[in-house]
Amino acid sequence: MAALTTSMSAMVRETVPEPGVKANPLREKATAADAEAQRLSAGIARGDELAFRELYDRYQERLFRFALVLGKGNTHMAHEVVQAAFLTAASKLRRVESAEHLWNWLARIARQHLGKIWRQQKRDSPIVAVEHLPEPDLEGVSEPVLEQSLDAALHLLSDEDRKVVEWFYFDELSHKVIAEKTGATAKAVSCRLERARAKLRALLARKGLDEP
C-alpha cells in the first residue's frame, strides 16, 4: 500500500504544473485546431463522407473568399474554383500535420485550378489579344493580403450592396429569403446583386486593393 501511495504521489507531481506557470490558451487552441485538421484529413483519406462534409462546411466560405479575390471579383469563377478544389480534396487529400498545413494545401489547389481556368479562357478568346487578358497573380500575394483586399472592397460598397453580397455568397441565402429580409422583390434583389457584383469586380481590379 505504501508503495502504491508513493507511486500515485509521483504521478501527481509530474502532472501538476509548477507554481506560477500558466497554460497558454493560444497554444492550446492551435493544438486543438491541428488535431482537428489531422482527424479530418485522415478521415477523408479513408473515404469518410462525414469527414468530407465537415471539411466543406469549415472551409467553403474561406476558400470562396480567397478565390473571389484571386479571380478579381468573378463570382462564377470563384464558385468553379471552390468546387474543383473540394473535388480534388475528396480524391487526393492525405494526412496533414496542422491546420495551417491543411489550409495551405487547399489554397494551393485553388490557385492551380484558377490558373487552369484562366489559361482556358485565353485559349477560348481568340478575338481578344492575349496581352489584354489580365492574368491574376497566383503566387505573389499572401492569403492575409487577399483577405484584406476583399474586406477593403466590401467596405467600399454601400451598406445595402454589401449586405446583399454577404447574404448571398457567404451566408448562402436565396434571392427569396433576401427579398423577405429587405422587403423587396426577388427580381429587385437579383438586379441589386448584379450591380453589386459589378462594383465589387471593379474595386478588386483597381491597383492598390489587390496588391501588397
Residue 16 carries which DSSP code?
S
Please tell me the number of Cα atoms within 13 Å of 21 on its side-chain side: 5
> Residue 201's pLDDT is what?
77
CATH class, 33-127 region:
mainly alpha
pTM beyond cutoff 0.85: no
> Residue 141's pLDDT is what?
52
Tell me the C-alpha distance between 34 and 21, whole Å: 23
Cβ neighbours around 54 below 10 Å, total: 16
pLDDT in tens, the chain (212 residues): 444 334 434 433 444 444 444 555 556 666 888 999 999 999 999 999 999 999 999 999 889 988 888 887 888 888 999 999 999 999 999 889 999 999 999 988 998 898 888 788 777 655 444 434 444 544 555 566 666 777 777 778 888 888 888 888 777 788 889 998 888 898 888 888 888 888 887 877 764 444 43
Letter string b/e over residues 157-178, b meaning 16 or more CB atoms within 10 A of that residue's CB: beeebbbbbebbbeeebebeeb
Provide the CATH topology of domain 141-212.
Arc Repressor Mutant, subunit A (1.10.10)
| Nearest CA-CA partner of 98 in 13, 146, 166, 35 | 35
Q: Where in the chain is the domain with CATH 1.10.1740.10?
A: 33-127
Tell me the C-alpha distance between 179 and 184, whole Å: 5
> Residue 126's pLDDT is what?
53
> Residue 156's pLDDT is what?
82
Q: Where in the chain is the domain with CATH 1.10.10.10?
A: 141-212
> Residue 29's pLDDT is what?
61
| Nearest CA-CA partner of 137 in 149, 154, 155, 129 | 149
Tell me the C-alpha distance between 145 and 147, whole Å: 5
Q: pLDDT tens digits for 109-123?
A: 998 898 888 788 777
